[in-house]
Chain A
Amino acid sequence: MGNEQKKRTGTMEAFKHKVVVDPNYADKTWKILEHAINEIYDQNASGLSFEELYRNAYNMVLHKFGDKLYSGLVATMTSHLQTMCKQIEASHGNEFLETLNGKWNDHNKALHMIRDILMYMDRTYIASTGITPVYGLGLNLWRDVVIHAENNQPRLQNTILELIYRERNGEVMNRGLMRTTIKMLMDLGPLVYQEDFESLYLKVSADFYRAESQEFIEVSDCGDYLKKAERRLSEEIERVSHYLDATTEEKITNVVEKEMIANHMLRLVHMENSGLVKLFLDDKFDDLRRMYKLFSRVSDGLSTIRKVMISHLRDSGKQLVTDPEKLKNRVEFVESLLEKRDKYDKIINSAFNNDKIFQNALNSSFEYFINLSTRSPEFISLFIDDKLRNGLKGVKEEDIETTLDKVMMLFRYLQEKDIFEKYYKQHLAKRLLSGKTACDDAERSLIIKLKTECGYQFTSKLESMFTDIKTSQDTMREFYAACGSELRNGPTLSVQVLTTGSWPMQSCGTCNLPPEMSILCEKFRAYYLNIHTGRRLSWHTNMGTADLRASFGSGQKYELSVTTYQMCILMLFNNADRLTYWGIEQVTEIPSSELKRSLQSLACVKGKNVLRKEPMSKNIGDDDVFSVNENFTSKLHKVKIGTVAAQKESEPEKQETRQRVEEDRKPQIEAAIVRVMKSRKVLDHNNIISEVTKQLQPRFLANPVEIKKRIESLIERDFLARDNKDRRLYRYMA
C-alpha cells in the first residue's frame, strides 16, 4: 500500500498556486492546436486525439491564454477561408454553386469539430468577455471572407436569381442545390438572408411579374389572365416551400398579388367581351370563382367586383322594368324577375362563397330597380293570381312552396307594400267569388307567409274573406236543409255573404232580377235575417254569375255561363222576341255602362253571340234591337260568356287605386306621428320625419312633404303645438 506516499504537486493542487510554466508554454500549446486546425481543414482529422486537443485548449484558457487562443483561431480560420474563397472564385460558371456548397460543407464540419475542441473556451473565456462564440465566429468569418468577397457576393446573387428566372420560364433547376445554398444564407442569420438575397429577390420578382402581366393582359381575355395569375401564385408558393425560407411566402405572394392582380383589377373587370359583366351573363362559374378567390387577396378587390355587380344589376334591372314589351305580359315580367334573382343567387352561392356582403348587395340592387316601376306591386299580385288560378295543377307541394317563397322574396323588396295589399285583396276577392282558386292550400300558405312578414294587421282582412266563403257554404247548406222542400223545382241559388269592410267593394245599386230569382232571393234574405237579426244585407248584383240552360231554334241545347246582369237580360227573351236597348234598360234597371258591356259580350263576340243585334255594329245605341240568335252554334256544350277574371288595370282605374291608397296612407301617417310624439314628448322637425319614415317603412315609403302636411293638420286639431321658444320643435299636447 503505498497510497500515502502519493503526495505530489501537480494536477491535484493545480489551482492553489500558479504553476510555474514554461514561458513558451502558450506558444507550444498553440502550435499543437494550430496544427490540429489545419489538419481538420485538410480533411485529415482522423489522426487527431480529441482528448488531447481538448486538454490543451483547456489548459491555455486556464492559464489565462484565452485571448491568444482566440486570436489564433481567428487568424487560422481566416487563412483557410481565404484559400477556400479563392477556390470558389476560380470555379467556372455552372460549378460555382456546387463548389461553394462543397466548401461550405467542409467548413461546417470543421467548425463543429473545432467548437467541440474549444468548448471550454466557449464556456468560460468567451462567456466572460462577451465576444462571439466559436460557432458564431465561424459563421461570421465565412460570411465576411467568402460570401462578401468582392467577386463572390454579386456572383452568388446573380447566379441564384438567374436560376430562379429560368425556372419561372419553364426550365428545370437543381432544387436540392438551391435549397442548401439558401439554407446556408439562412444559417448565416436573418440579416444576411434578407440583405444578400431576399430583398433583391423581391425586387427582381416584382419587375418580372410587372412585365409579364403587362405583356399578358394585352393579349389575353379576362378568364385566361385569371388562370395564369392563379398558376403563378401557386408556383411561387410551391417555390418557397421547396427552397426558400417560410417567412418569404407572404412577401412574395404580396408581390404577385400586387403586380398581377391589384395593378390590373379595373382593367380585367371592365374588359370588353370578357370582363365581369360577360362572365355574369354567361354564367361562367369557374372564372367567377377564380376571380373572387384572387381578388379577395388584395385590398378593395372584392369591393371592386361588388361595385360592378351592383351597377350591372341596377342597369339591367332598370331596363327590365321599363321595357314596354315586358310590361305587356305581367306574368312574364315577374318570371323574368324571378329568373334574374335565381341566376345571381346561384352565382353568389357557387362562385362567391355565399358571401353575405354580396347577398346584401344583390338585395339592395333588386330593391332599387323593382321600385323604379310603380306597377311592380300590381304585377306581382297578378303573377300570384295567375299561379293560383291556373298554374299549379300537377305541381308538387314542395315546388309550390318554393315558388311562393321566391315570390315572397320579391315582395320584400317592394317599398309600397300597401299598394300590393290593395291589389292582392282585389284579386283574391275575384278568385274567391268566381270559385277560381285552384289550390286552397297554396292560398292559405301564402297568407301565412304574408302574416309572418308583415304582421297580423296585413292579413286579418284576407283571412276574414276566406272565412266568409266557408261560412256562406255552410249557410247555403242549412238554407236548403230548412227550406229545400219548397224550392226543389226552382233554380238553384248560391249566395256568398260577405262582411263589409273585409272585402274591396264599391257600393252598387241593384238591378231587377227575373221573378224566379227575386222570389228565391227574398226567401234567402228572410231566412238569413231570421237567424242573424240586426244585420243588413245588400245584394251586389254586379258581381254574381249564373248558369242557364238554353235551347235554340235549331233544337240545340247549351249551358250558358254568364254574369248576373246577362242572366237578367237573357231571361227577358223568354217572354219577348225582340227588345230594344232602351226597353231592356227600363226593365232591368242595370246601370247603362254595365248594360252596354254585357250586351256587347252577348251579341258582338264571335262564337258567343247568343243574341242578335240590329244594326250589327259594335257600339250599342239606344235604339238597337235585340233578339235571340236562333242559329247560334258552339262546339262546346258549355259556353262561357263573360268572366270575372283579374285584368291589368286601365289607366283611370290605376289612378283611382293609387289615389285610394294615398288617402289610406294619411291616417297611417298621422297615427305614426302621434305614436312618436307620445313617447318623445318634444321633438324637432327633422327627427320627426326620420322617425315616422322608419315606422312606416314596412308598409310604404312615406313622403316627407305629406308628413309635414299631416303635422300641420295635427297642429290644427291641437294634438301638437310648436314650442314657444324654438319654432322648429314640436310638442305633444296630451
Chain B
Amino acid sequence: MNKLGRGQRDKVQQFMLITGASEKVAIQVLKASDWQFEGAFDIFYSHPHLKSVADTRHIEELYNRYKDPYADMILADGITLLCNDIQVDPQDIVMLVISWHMKAATMCEFSKQEFVGGLQSMGIDSLEKFRERIPFLRAELRDELKFREIYNFAFGWAKEKGQKSLALDTAIGMWQLLFAEKQWPLEDHWCQFLQARHNKAISRDTWSQLLEFSRTIDPGLINYDPEGAWPYLIDEFVEYLNENGKGKTSEWNYTK
C-alpha cells in the first residue's frame, strides 16, 4: 500500500468500500486493470473466489425489513420501500438489472431465495453498499452481451405467470424502457405497427429476434433479407414500413 500513489490509494479505498473486497485483493485487481474501475469490477466479479463472503446475517436482516407481513416474499410495498432506501425510482431500468441478478421469476415480487441469493452474488450486504453499487449496475447495460441477457431475461420476467406469451401492452412498455438505453430509431414505428396491425401477445421468439433485428438491420432496411429467417411478425413490420414509405428510399437522420 505504501508504494502506491495518492490517487491509487483512493481508488483502492473506494474499491474496497464498493465491493467489500480485502485490501490485498483490491490492489491486485486494480493493478491488473491498470487502475481502471470498470475493468477492475469486471475482473473482480468474474472471479468469485475474490469476493469476500458478504455477511448473510446482514442480508437476512434486510430481507426481513422488506418482506410482506403475510407472505414469505417481498411484494409491492416492500419493493417500494427498497427503492426508496436505495434512492432509485421503481420504474428505473436499474430495477430490471437487479431483478436479473436475482434471477427473479416475475416482476413486482422477490422470493426470499431470490433476494438473498441476488444480494450475495452482487456482494451487497448493506444499503450503503447497495447505493454505491447502483452506477455499476447501470453500467452493465452498456455491455453488449449483458444487455442481451438482460433483454431476454426481461421477457420471462415481465410476462404473466403461466402464460407463454407476453401481453402486448407490457411488451411495448418494456421495449420503450429498454430501447431508451439503446436508441433504436425504428422503435416508435414498431410499437405503432403492433398496435395497428397485431394486437396480440408477443412470442418469445419474436421478442428475442427483435433485438437481433435492431442490432443487425439498418433503419433504412437496406440489408434486410426477406429470406433471412426473421419471424413472420418482423416480415410484416418491414412490409408495413415499406407501405408507409419508410423503406429503403427514405432518408434517415440517426446517429449511431
Contact = CB atoms under 8 A, between A and B. Distances in A.
User: A and B from one assembly?
Assistant: yes
Interface of A: 684-686, 705, 708-709, 712, 715-716, 722, 727-728, 730
B232 A722 contact: no
A712 B203 contact: yes
A693 to B, nearest CB: 14
20 contacts: A684-B229, A685-B227, A685-B229, A686-B227, A708-B231, A708-B232, A708-B235, A712-B203, A712-B205, A712-B232, A715-B204, A715-B205, A716-B164, A716-B165, A716-B203, A716-B205, A722-B205, A727-B212, A728-B228, A730-B229
B209 interface: yes
Interface residues of B, number: 14
B232 A705 contact: yes
Interface in B133-151: none
A727 B227 contact: no
Nearest to B233: A712
Nearest to B213: A727
Contact of A685 (B164, B209, B228, B232): B228
B232 A727 contact: no
B164 A728 contact: no
B204 A728 contact: no
B145 to A, nearest CB: 12
Contacts of A684: 229
A87 to B, nearest CB: 86
A686 B228 CA distance: 8
A705 B203 CA distance: 17
A726 to B, nearest CB: 9
Interface string B176-215: 0000000000000000000000000001111001001000
B82 to A, nearest CB: 35
Nearest to B227: A686
Contacts of B206: 712
Interface string B216-256: 00000000000111011001000000000000000000000
Given A705-B232, A708-B232, A716-B203, 4 more contacts: A685-B227, A708-B235, A716-B164, A727-B209
A705 B125 CA distance: 53
B232 A709 contact: yes
Contacts of B204: 715-716
Contacts of A705: 232, 235
Nearest to B225: A728
- Pick the 7 closest A-B CB pairs, nearest first: A685-B229, A728-B229, A715-B205, A709-B232, A708-B232, A716-B203, A712-B231
B229 A727 contact: yes
Contacts of A716: 164-165, 203-205
Nearest to A708: B232
A596 B168 CA distance: 46
B245 to A, nearest CB: 23
Nearest to A684: B229
A446 B229 CA distance: 43
A690 to B, nearest CB: 11
A275 to B, nearest CB: 42
A727 B215 CA distance: 13
A728 B212 CA distance: 11
Interface in B86-110: none
A716 B209 CA distance: 13
B202 to A, nearest CB: 11
A686 B235 CA distance: 15
A716 B228 CA distance: 19
Contacts of A686: 227
Contacts of B228: 685, 728
Contacts of A712: 203, 205-206, 231-232
Contacts of A730: 229
A225 B227 CA distance: 53
B207 to A, nearest CB: 11
A709 B204 CA distance: 14
Contacts of B212: 727
Contacts of A685: 227-229
A358 B214 CA distance: 52
Nearest to B231: A712
Contacts of B235: 705, 708
B220 to A, nearest CB: 21
Contacts of B165: 716
Nearest to A717: B164
Nearest to A726: B229
Of B164, B209, B228, B232, chain A has the most CB atoms within 10 Å of the CB of B232
A722 B207 CA distance: 13
Nearest to B208: A722
Contacts of B227: 685-686
A730 B231 CA distance: 12
A730 B232 CA distance: 15
B234 to A, nearest CB: 10
A731 to B, nearest CB: 13
Nearest to A730: B229
Nearest to A729: B229
A709 B206 CA distance: 11
B203 to A, nearest CB: 5
A730 B164 CA distance: 20
A534 to B, nearest CB: 37
Nearest to A686: B227
Contacts of A728: 228-229
A686 B212 CA distance: 19
A481 B228 CA distance: 70
Contacts of B232: 705, 708-709, 712
Contacts of B203: 712, 715-716
A684 to B, nearest CB: 7
A685 B230 CA distance: 9
A712 B203 CA distance: 9
A685 B205 CA distance: 15
A705 B235 CA distance: 10
Contacts of A715: 203-205
Nearest to A709: B232
Contacts of B229: 684-685, 727-728, 730
A151 to B, nearest CB: 78
A712 B204 CA distance: 10
Nearest to B236: A705
Of A686, A705, A709, A716, chain B has the most CB atoms within 10 Å of the CB of A716
A727 B227 CA distance: 12
Nearest to A689: B227
A705 B229 CA distance: 11
A508 to B, nearest CB: 33
Nearest to B212: A727
A75 to B, nearest CB: 88
B61 to A, nearest CB: 41
Contacts of A727: 209, 212, 229
Contacts of B164: 716
A684 B229 CA distance: 8
B166 to A, nearest CB: 12
